[in-house]
Amino acid sequence: MDCFCGGGGFLQEALKLGRKFIGIDESIESIKLNQKWIQQSEMIYLVPMLL
């Protein structure tokens, strides 16, 4: 859990490692950017793990 996810570094590493994660931030802009990045990156990091 990252209570100040900001740029999303923790979230990115958790996704790369196939871990579950929670990101919280006060900034709506940061949340939206992280959501967009996660949606784009799920296919890159999660599909190879499923194969």
- Going from N- to C-terminal start, the domains of the chain cover 9-50
**Do 3 and 24 contact (CB within 8 A), yes or no?**
yes
Segment 1-51, tens digit of pLDDT: 878 888 888 888 888 888 888 888 999 999 899 888 888 887 776 665 555
Q: Global pTM? A: 0.67
Do 37 and 6 contact (CB within 8 A), yes or no?
A: no
Sign of CA dihedral 6, 8, 9, 11: positive
Q: Residue 26's pLDDT is what?
A: 92
Interacting residues of 47 by C-beta distance below 8 A, sequence separation 6+: none
**pLDDT confidence of residue 48:** 59
**What integer pLDDT is reported at residue 28 of this predicted model?**
92
* CA-atom Rg of the chain in angstroms: 11
Rounded to the nearest 5°, which phi and psi values hold at 5? -70, -25
- What pLDDT does 51 receive? 56
